Amino acid sequence: MTAIEMFNLYLTYSTTTNFIVGAVIGSTVKFAFVDSSMLTNALTTSTGSNKERTSMTLRLLVSKDLKAYIKDNGTELTTKEHFEIIAKEVGGNGRSNRGLALEKLITEYFGQEWKADSKCFTECGDININGVEYQIKGHKATFTNEEKLRELVK
């Protein structure tokens, strides 16, 4: 399955096709509301395996065009330094998790309480703003994997 095929299936089964994408822009972190069509040139897949199976994962790689859009149209969220501190705090066990940090900071920016969860994209978005669900994504964010999409298609 290609990245575009995977993304189209993701959009078919997702509770939302609305996205907020964050990126490090120089010494700051900014975010912008983006249309799903803007993400098609920023998709990649990676292959992982364990003892039982091999599966392809769909990820976002923030492209130069997407980064330029965020730079020109985005909202400043925090400094890169503060972002890295939050990423370590939410990652736990000395690990850094930029995706969770981005979710936390954007959720709090909109005056909502953030709580880490592992809800599937088929259940809800990452944030609800004025009745609209959004998925929050950053560089190297995972959308889903091929195995999950095959389960949904059945």
With the C-alpha atoms ordered 6, 32, 139, 106, is the resulting torsion angle positive or negative? negative
Q: Does the pLDDT value for residue 109 go beyond 70?
A: yes
pLDDT-derived band of residue 49, with 50, 70 and 90 as boundaries?
A: low
Residue-range domain boundaries for the chain: 3-148
d(CA 133, CA 45): 25
Count CB neighbours of 21 within 10 A: 28
Q: What is the pLDDT of residue 117?
A: 85
